[in-house]
Structure formats: structure tokens, C-alpha cells
């Protein structure tokens, strides 16, 4: 047990010391029926890969959970309707596909507390053992950056859209899990370049 914990600690310490721009990332976004992990559901999951600063759009996925019981406001917010759900996949199948890349990618979310909270619970319920090597949160990165600058952070300053505007990234008019995953991937790269200012940025500087 001690050897295992020591090995995990050394791997993490080594990862945190590496160049952030040369890493492989799995950027994930979820569409949910609400914010409570105990009563709401995952409607869909999308992910985009980044490899050595290159966003691999051709390898992106956006999969619908055909088992969702109630769409709530999803048709309004995400455009997902009953017909779309019927053509989806089981949540277990989606989670199995997603978790295959956990071991060799750093996971990235915008608001990891929410999305990883739902994913972790879903993985546990599906009896899928998947331990990410590291989780980054673009919301946390931005909050930390603004705090270091002494900026006053208002209520909506850390939304995905507001963060992207700060880096002069284009606005996406269609909001679904896939466009938000891509938008988060672009934001992460912009944050890395803003932080490093021509110098190498370590993974640990993003945590």
C-alpha cells in the first residue's frame, strides 16, 4: 500500500513539473437536467482531445444518453429532444468509451466540481473503475489568474463565455456539449499562452 501511494505521488510530482503545452488533454463537457447529482441526470457527454497544442476535432465525440428519464429543460437549452435521445447509447457504453483515455490524458473541465461530480457518481454506479492522472479546471485557472492580478471577480466573470471574451476568442452561438468542450479546449490553450508569456508553463502552474 505504501509503495503504491509513493508511486502515485512520484508520478503526480513528475507530471506537475512537465511542460503544459506538450501534454495530451481530454476536454469534457456534460449536458445535465439540473445541478443536483442526487436527483438530476446526464443527458449527453462530449469530449475533445488536445495533443501537443493541437485540438483533434476529427477525434471528438458527442454521445446522447438514451436512458435519460426526463429531459427537463434540455430541449430549450441544448436542443436535445425525445427523438434524439431514442437514437442515443446507454450511459454505460458512453462511460466505457470515455474512460479509455483517462490513463494517458489529463482531464479538463470548465467547472470541474459540477461535471466531474456527475461523472464520478455515474462511473461508480456503472461499476467502471477509472482513475484520472490529473484534473484541470479552466474556471479555476482563470479565477487564480484574475486573483493574482488583484482583479475584482463579479458573479458572471467566470462563465465559459466571459472567460473566452477576455482572451478575444470568438463566440459560439450554438451551445451544446460538443461546442462547449471545443470552446473549453481553446480557452485552455489561450490560458497557457497568456500565463507563460513566451516562457515554458508547467502543468503544476495550472492546478
Express each pLDDT in 75-84 by its tens digit. Answer: 445 557 677 7
Q: What is the mean pLDDT of residues 169-198?
A: 90
Residue for grid cell 463579479: 154
Distance, CA of 118 to CA of 96 (rounded, Å): 15
Q: What is the CATH class of 19-206?
A: alpha beta
Look at residue 174 and give its three-state secondary structure.
coil
pLDDT in the model for residue 180: 95
The mean pLDDT of the chain is 90
3-state helix, strand, coil in the chain (%, to 5): 45, 20, 35
pLDDT at 73 over 70: no
Cα 19 to the center of its chain, rounded Å: 20
- Which region among 33-47, 127-141, 186-200 has the lowest average model confidence (pLDDT)? 186-200
Q: What is the pTM of this model?
A: 0.93
DSSP 198: T
Q: pLDDT category, 94, cuts 50, 70, 90?
A: very high
φ and ψ at residue 93, rounded to 5 degrees? -65, -45
Amino acid at each position: 500500500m505504501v509503495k503504491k501511494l509513493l508511486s502515485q505521488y512520484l508520478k503526480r510530482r513528475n507530471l506537475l513539473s512537465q511542460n503544459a503545452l506538450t501534454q495530451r488533454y481530454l476536454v469534457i463537457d456534460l449536458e445535465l437536467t439540473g445541478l443536483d447529482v442526487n436527483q438530476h441526470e446526464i443527458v449527453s457527454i462530449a469530449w475533445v482531445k488536445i495533443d501537443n497544442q493541437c485540438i483533434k476535432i476529427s477525434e471528438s465525440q458527442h454521445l446522447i444518453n438514451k436512458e435519460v428519464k426526463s429531459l427537463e429543460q434540455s430541449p430549450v437549452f441544448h436542443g436535445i429532444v425525445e427523438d434524439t435521445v431514442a437514437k442515443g447509447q446507454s450511459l454505460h457504453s458512453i462511460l466505457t468509451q470515455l474512460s479509455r483515455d483517462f490513463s494517458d490524458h489529463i482531464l479538463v473541465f470548465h467547472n470541474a466540481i459540477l461535471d466531474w461530480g456527475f461523472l464520478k457518481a455515474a462511473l461508480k454506479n456503472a461499476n467502471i473503475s477509472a482513475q484520472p492522472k490529473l484534473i484541470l479546471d479552466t474556471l479555476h485557472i482563470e479565477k487564480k489568474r484574475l486573483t493574482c492580478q488583484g482583479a475584482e471577480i463579479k458573479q458572471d466573470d467566470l462563465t465559459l463565455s466571459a472567460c473566452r471574451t477576455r482572451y478575444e476568442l470568438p463566440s459560439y452561438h450554438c451551445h451544446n456539449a460538443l461546442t462547449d468542450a471545443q470552446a473549453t479546449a481553446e480557452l485552455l490553450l489561450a490560458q497557457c499562452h497568456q500565463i507563460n508569456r513566451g516562457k515554458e508553463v508547467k502543468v503544476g502552474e495550472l492546478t
